[in-house]
Structure 1
Amino acid sequence: MDPVTQSVQQMYEQYPYPSGLPNMTAGFDIRLLLSYVEQSPKDSRPYHALEAGCGRGPAVLAAATLQPEVTFSAMDINTVGLKEATLNAEQRGLNNLTFHQVDLMALTGITVPEGGFDVIHCAGVLHHTADPQLGLNNLAEILAPHGVMSIMLYGTYGRQALYRLIDCIDILSPIQAQISERIAPGRLLAEAAEDSLFKDNYWSSTYLNPDVEFVDTCLNVKETSFDVTGLWQFIENAGMKFVRWVEPDVWSVDKRIKNPELRARLKALSEFEQYKIMERLFEIPKLEFIICKNTNQQRVPTTAAAVEASGFAVNPEVSFQVTKRNLNNAQRIESVAYKVRGREAVIEADPILGSILLLLSEQNSHFSGADMLNVLIQHGASRDYAYELIDSLLQKEVIFVPHCR
């Protein structure tokens, strides 16, 4: 193990990260992730997923609990976190999840399924390694040809306020001091930043974070960040291809730019140039994205002609809220709303679409496009309008088209 990796291991074993209960995060549903790309698995074996850098395991524990049909592996260098995660998995009776102590810089000690992992999840890890490019290259080698990676890296422009605070901490409490000695002065500076650097932004209340979160954020012994230009080169160097952002709305000119003239000017640029402007114009501290191998590509949207023959599923990253009123021997549906990931909830005004959303809120298995068309028509939609509604549900990410198994 190289010296940088050793220092990172020591820090996280002293302050095992992250804390908190198991929690399903965006970009962790296996069927949804694989639906973003064209190539599908060549056989019907169970999906194999890897979390590269699991820490204490809250994300992968939740994912394995909610997806018992998927075989999960999780790796980390933090022996303290791995011990806790393993015990937690045993207590939950999870037999589809195994933990391994593995150094991402060497990637020895992990059992790779035949053909590679279908999905690799790596959030908040590569930027703490001695060589992030080597880490991504190693992961690319064990990814299946049809597979995808869900990755989170720190964004340089979105972390400027935090980096100014870290500079202050390094002046007040030199980095040569023990981490335990730097927490108190660091918190004092972070509290002072509440009315300046951190006022009304992502970093507000950082000084109140538990020690493990505060150390990870403000006192980390190794950290690299990326801008869009560097990210694109990083992905290309690994023989990979950008597929999409985990949350496209964060980077969307249409969603975030209100002035129509400016919006039109930006839309005339390439997507790459749009992203470069967005990262400078808005505070985006995390770059969360999906990539695939160069031999694969982003999936082509389903056409109207293919709807009837396609299979669909409700997006597991969508939550529904149904407002009901109980009457005398009856019940009235007042409204149906849906929320995609961290976006604002949407109350659907179209009565036909509202009825379909009510049905979708109860749907937990695959369904055919032909069945959905028939239901829409039964609720009063013409065939052409039914196709429009299905396309709208796809674009809004309420439903998706999983690969056939």
Structure 2
Amino acid sequence: MDQTTKKVKSMYERYPYPSGNPSIRAGFDARLLLSYVTKKKDTDTPLHVLDAGCGRGPGVLGAASLQPDVNFTAIDINSVGLAQAKANAEARGLTNVNFVQADLMTLEGVDVPPGGFDVIYSSGVLHHLANPQIGLNNLANILAPHGVISLMLYGSFGRQALYRLIEGIDIVSSNKDEIEDRLPLARVLTEEADNTIFKGNYWQGTYRNPDVEFVDTCLNVNEVSYDVASLWKFIDSAKMKFVRWIDPDVWSVDRRFNNPLLLARLRELSEFEQYQVIERLFEIPKLELIICKADNTAAETVDIAELESSQFAVNPEASFSVEKRNLNQSQRIESLSYKIRHSKSQSVTDPLLAQIILLLAEQTTCFTGSEIISVLSQNGADKNSAIELIYELLEKEIIFIP
């Protein structure tokens, strides 16, 4: 184990990160992630998912609890965090997670399933390695040909205020001192930042975080961050390819800007250039994206000729809200809305869209395009209108093709 990895391991075993109970993170569902690419798994065997750097396990435990038919392997160098994650899994009766202590710089001890892992999660980990490129290359090597990696790395532009604070902490409290000795003064300085460089931004209130979160954020012994340009080089060097952002709305010029003149110019730019503009104008501390092997591609929208025979499912990252009023021997729906991931709720006012969303909100199994068309026709829609609505549901990410 190299010296940098030893330092990182020691820090996280003293301050095992993250705290908190199992959580449902964006990008948790393996089948949804695999739907983003063209190549498909060619066997009917169970899916194998690797959480590469699980820490105390809130992410992998949340994902495993919602996908009992998926096999999870969770690895970390932090023995303390792993022990807590394993105990938490046992307490919750989860039997589909295997915990392994392993170093991402070598992956020694990781049992790779035949053909590789279908999905790999790596959230907030690679940027702490002695050599992040080696870490990503290692993960790419154990990814199945059809597989995807759900990746989160620190964003340089979105962390500028934080890095200014950290430089200030290093001046008043040497980074050669023990973390325990640095904590009190670092917290005081971070509280002061709430009235200056942290005022009104993502980092406000950081000083209130528990020690494990505060150390990870402000006193970390090793980290790097990326802008879009360096991220693209990082991915390309691992012979991987960008598929999409976890939340495309964050990186959409149409969602971010309103001025028609500016939008017209931005739409003339490549998507890469659009992303570069967005990262400079908006505070995005985390770059959350999906990548695949270089010979795979992002899935295209289903062809209209295949629409009726295609299998669809409700997006597991979609949630629905229905407000009802009870009347005399009847009910009336007052409002209907949906949201995808952690975005703002979207009200539904179109009667036909409302009818299909009410049905989808109760749907837990796959269904065909022809079944959707049949239901819509029973509610007065002609076939062309029904097809348009299916494409709208796909575009809004309310449904997907597994």
Question: Same-fold call, TM > 0.5?
Answer: yes
What is the CA distance between 1:61 and its match in structure 2? 0.5
- Code of the residue aligned with 1:289 in structure 2: it is L
Q: Which residue of 1 aligns with 2:165?
A: 165
In structure 1, list runs of 5 or more residues that go unmatched. Answer: none
TM-score normalised according to structure 1 size: 0.98
1:114 and 2:108 matched = no
Within 1, Cα distance between the matches of 2:324 and 2:43?
44
In structure 2, list runs of 5 or more residues that go unmatched. Answer: none
Q: Deviations over 1:311-343 (max 9, x none)?
A: 000001111001111111111111210011121
Q: Which residue of 2 aligns with 1:72?
A: 72
- Code of the residue aligned with 1:102 in structure 2: it is A
1:9 and 2:5 matched = no
Q: Deviations over 1:68-98 (max 9, x none)?
A: 0100000000000000111111111111110
1:193 and 2:179 matched = no
Q: Deviations over 1:197-253 (max 9, x none)?
A: 111111011011010000000000001000000000000000100000000010100
- Code of the residue aligned with 1:73 in structure 2: it is T
Q: Which residue of 1 aligns with 2:124?
A: 124
Within 1, Cα distance between the matches of 2:303 and 2:379?
22
Within 2, Cα distance between the matches of 1:4 and 1:18?
20
Q: Which residue of 1 aligns with 2:286?
A: 286
Matches within 5 A, 1:75-90: 75-90=75-90
Within 1, Cα distance between the matches of 2:68 and 2:313?
17
Q: After superposing the two structures, state which structure 1 stretch, 28-37 or 323-332, moved more.
A: 323-332
What is the CA distance between 1:27 and its match in structure 2? 1.0
1:182 and 2:182 matched = yes
4+ runs deviating over 2 angstroms:
none
- Code of the residue aligned with 2:185 in structure 1: it is P
What is the CA distance between 1:136 and its match in structure 2? 0.1
Within 1, Cα distance between the matches of 2:356 and 2:83?
46
Q: After superposing the two structures, state which structure 1 stretch, 42-51 or 177-186, moved more.
A: 177-186
- Code of the residue aligned with 1:233 in structure 2: it is K
Q: Which residue of 2 aligns with 1:244?
A: 244
- Code of the residue aligned with 1:143 in structure 2: it is L
TM-score normalised according to structure 2 size: 0.99
Counterpart secondary structure, 1:331: strand
Within 1, Cα distance between the matches of 2:254 and 2:227?
21
Q: Which residue of 2 aligns with 1:299?
A: 299
- Code of the residue aligned with 1:130 in structure 2: it is A
What is the CA distance between 1:186 and its match in structure 2? 1.0
What is the CA distance between 1:258 and its match in structure 2? 1.1
Aligned residues: CA RMSD = 0.7
Percent identity reads 60
- Code of the residue aligned with 2:226 in structure 1: it is F
What is the CA distance between 1:304 and its match in structure 2? 2.3
- Code of the residue aligned with 1:122 in structure 2: it is S
Q: Which residue of 1 aligns with 2:22?
A: 22
Counterpart secondary structure, 1:363: coil
Within 1, Cα distance between the matches of 2:305 and 2:256?
32
Q: Which residue of 1 aligns with 2:38?
A: 38
What is the CA distance between 1:376 and its match in structure 2? 1.1
Counterpart secondary structure, 2:46: coil
